[in-house]
Structure 1
Amino acid sequence: MAERAHPRPKLYPPPEFPPRRPARFARTPPAVFPVILGLIGLGLALRRGLEAAGMGVGLAEVVLGAVAVLWGFAAFAYLAKMARRVSVVLDDLRVLPGRAGLAAGTMGAMALAAAVAPVSVGLAQGLLVAGLVVHGLLMLAVLRVFAGMAPEGRAVTPAFHLTFVGFIVGGLAAPAVGWAGLAVGLLWVTVPVAVAIWGVSAVQLVRRIPPAPLRPLLAIHLAPASLFALVSAGVGREGVALAFVALGGVILLGLVVAARWIGESGFSALWGSFTFPLVSFAAALFAVGVDVAGMVVLTLALGVVPWIAWRVITLWGSGRLAAMTNAAEA
């Protein structure tokens, strides 16, 4: 009997040596933007804290100036990536770190509008309008990507706040540039969306335990409450602001109690989720006059936020952040 012929093994191309390096900026990771947003928020909270202490705000202005340059460079790097292939945006939006990162990037433009409003109303208005428009386009792109994904891929996560509630950051600058009505409108639109996301997330927590690597995202739940308090205080709704600060306090307490469980998987790029909610809550405390508590949270943020930002930005500089967060290549 003739022996049965064995199928030939598949031929694979040999690995490249030396390994191919992507073109400059071709794989800029959106995951760098959450920590940059956190640094912008830190500068804004520091400005409020120094004012509450009766001190000059020069240090806060230096921080905000430096971080504005950092945000500008990151935005330029991502635009350079888009210039190579515009559809790379849709590829980045298919993964959670990409969706969260790009939303944080446009929120950063709105936060910078609040930073520059005391210096240049015209520049602040331009940044605010650009941030809101691009954030709206980004939200539509996310909905388009979701339409083609399996149901489990579009499950509600805390990062939904960034995409669908992130417009509220525009309310920080709106009163300062004479558009208080815009701030009120943003509150009316975004509060119900945040409440819906909080509700769905609460049900999910009861039904199943989130995997350890995704637990840092839970910190994002603090951001909408803090931002609603800030915007409400900015338009003279002190009672509403106090209510949202109280809600934020409850959320922060829960995060502190569960801190060991939330950080069980160790440091990752998703720790950027701790930065902007924490500094937003510190600023909210100053906005409603709870200055002592605001100083405590701000002091904590001054130790935590730069450390997390340094680690994430270092990963970006080494090229590892793109691989860790599955950033698309143009």
Structure 2
Amino acid sequence: MKQNWPIKKLKDICKKASSNISQNQLDNNEGDYPIYGASGVIKNVNFYHQDNEYVWIVKDGAWIWRITLLPAYSSVIGTLQYLIPNDGIDIRFFYYSLLSIDFLQYKNGSTIPHIYFKDYAEHSLSIPSLSEQKRIVLILDRAFEWIEQTRINTDKNLRNANKFFESYLKNILTNKNEDWRKEEFQNITNKNCSLWYGIVQPGNEFNNWLPVVRPTDLTNNQYIYKKGLKLIDPKLADSYKRTTLVGGELLLCVRGTTGIISIASDELKGANVTRGIVPIRFNEEIIDFKFAYYYFISSFIQKQIQEKRIEQH
């Protein structure tokens, strides 16, 4: 940042505009112009609200403060807000400047969080001349292009590594030793394992209360930890003692992205799960839970899970 760059408040370099469009109004509307929601393009419709590039910000809900630069001849729905820079402000410089703001400091509400323009409009930014803005944008665009290409290459390498891992895993699990034996699934689980799903209605979030694992928490990460989990009123778990975690369980997703598997870390002892996840606790005298994890993520088991899912539909 240069010492002589003027400091201006956000409200002095842009204007806001709101949308009154709800998604259910779009059912029978088809056209050539994209309309966006918090997660991206909803569909193409026969109208547009903005004929120049603009920035939108999510003003309420789970995606609060998310910012995106959008093209001309497009629109957004009512949960989003248009931010349009004034003359003399490069649109891409404006976008990059907004990315530097911690909008969570302006958050209001807990059940349905939201942010108001009147609050973050007082945020101050350093604004150089238009020519300097364009120079900075050129540098940042090149940097982000490099980052994106690096991400693409990393994803490609990761896919190749996953293929190698799957091939290696398949080789181990199909070339069994003579001392391997077949067991019914119920015979290798812990006697206290109910194979049941968890809390149906976890309710609102409460700080410093009981962590629960939801299907959306299950990722490609091997372990699930407490950080980032929803916290609920412990009384809601009173009727779900059989899915109380002790740590070391396999957490199997049985709704939505069926078949995703993670392991409950030891720090989740006493936590619970929501409907859509079945905790599996194994008899450690028969099977090691880490071995079971690798078995469950193998194509052999995943194929069986997906076949059962299709049968039920």
TM interval, short-chain normalised: under 0.3
| Structure that is richer in helix per residue | 1
TM-score by length of 1: 0.24
TM-score by length of 2: 0.25
Looking at both structures, which has the greater relative contact order when contacts are Cα pairs under 8 Å and sequence separation is at least 6?
A: 1
Report the structure number with the largest CA radius of gyration.
2
| Structure that is richer in strand per residue | 2
